[in-house]
Structure 1
Amino acid sequence: FCPVVATNITLNLTSLGPCMILTFNENCHDWCDESKLSCTLLPHPPIGNYSERQGHMVGFFRDPDQRIVSGYHGGGEKFADDRRFHLDAAGIGAFATLPCKPLDDAVPLPKVPLLEFAEAWKGGMTYQLVTEDDHGIPTVLPNRPKVTQADGVQAARRVREGFAFVGITEEWDLSICLFHKMFGGLCVFSEFQDIRPTFPGKSANTDYNTSELMAWHDDIDEIVYEAALEVFHKNLVLYNVSHETCQECYRNAGKEELP
């Protein structure tokens, strides 16, 4: 996808600096093949022209409640800090530069309550999959249009019919192995790294405690996640992927501990 970038380079804070997302986005047009990778400054943009991209998309899907708790506690973007949380559409440009150009370096900002944050982020995966405006409001901004159960059903259909690859964040190792089983190439160590952990030692294999949601649940994105799990497990069987059959992949990647 990005032939200018060496295959042994990991795009992270070490290689691109603290503004890695902004740096990559500014160079994406020169580094990458835009017929295969969409270059955009906005974080988590809507899917855009679905008909044009159907069958060519790659996606990793996450348990919706885990996604929300992660977003709330994630230190980098500070999504839930009060002033950033209430940015309107006019503030998208400033939002896109975080954490490189924080809105307030001097004064720590309080967080909005978790359940208020959860309601604002509810249906984020659905919104991203059914919104065809390339310049629409990013998924993570709370003023984006709300979605419905019917939207969730449409988004789930697109997961089943529109993706060349579906991975599951909670099954990261198997997802990486499955990708290589489907499309070839050797597994490499950087594919198994968490380059933006919420806290030291955090990985895709570590779940957040969702009890703080007090039984609140994202029942819209759950429809999408269930569809992703269905596709993922179907492909595990189709391509004979398991931790046992992935040992060569893990060894090639230099994983010290094999599941």
Structure 2
Amino acid sequence: MTRRGKVFRGLVGVLVTVGALEALGRAHLTSEDNFPPASKVLSRAFELAGDHDFVFVQLKATLEAWGLGMLLAIVIAVPLGLLLGSVPIANTAARAIVEFLRPIPSVALIPLVGLILGAGLEMKVTLIVYAAMWPLLFNTLYGLRDVDPLAKETLRAFGFGPFAVLRRAVLPAAAPFIYTGVRLAAAIALILAVGTEVLSGFGEGLGNFIGNAAIALGGTKDVLAGTVWAGCLGLVVNVLLVAGERRLFRWHFREGRS
């Protein structure tokens, strides 16, 4: 299927979903305050785009936490993955602690991190880094396993040192896997940014806007409008990352098709 065909089908799916939600809202199966029609939710979402406080305070706070958390997660997880994947002793030593920490939900750490760091950017960034580093770490490890051992041995035979082998053979082969980890981590980081703001109940951000609307009288429309904005942010981030992936790793896609 062509890219234009995929976009068209995606738009049809969105329109069908919005139409179904509009019909359910207009059917008055429950109070409109509890389940407003999709048209009113979308109208409210467009209104928020012109709200200075919403855009430059709430959205800005969420995007700042997301961006800083992603940057730190990449800086920590990718080198750590390269170390664990290249040094078997380090991998064996760290395996137990990694497997212990990985299943712990980030949201379960909100009270502890809040007590230690307080409300604000530091708490959100810490939780985002904790959640986002796992897909980055494991995709880096998977990428290292995919490196052709013959390529590494050939470089060593020609006198290249460990760092040269890493730069010329390991990183190019592992890069598509690492980038996939970035895509997965970006979605998880956005979920954590918004979710932390909702559950913490204090500070600024899109999640804080949604949480305050949820306890306000007749705030369902704002809750849903904020959720629409969260979904749109996730969609934009993914589209940009996919476009970057296709541009940076064209050779990888050609190999996959062949």
Is the structural similarity TM-score above 0.5? no
Higher helix content, 1 or 2: 2
- Looking at CA atoms only, which structure, 1 or 2, has the larger radius of gyration? 2
The alignment's TM-score, normalised by the length of structure 2, stands at 0.20
Q: Which has the higher strand share?
A: 1
**Structure 1 length normalisation: TM-score?**
0.20
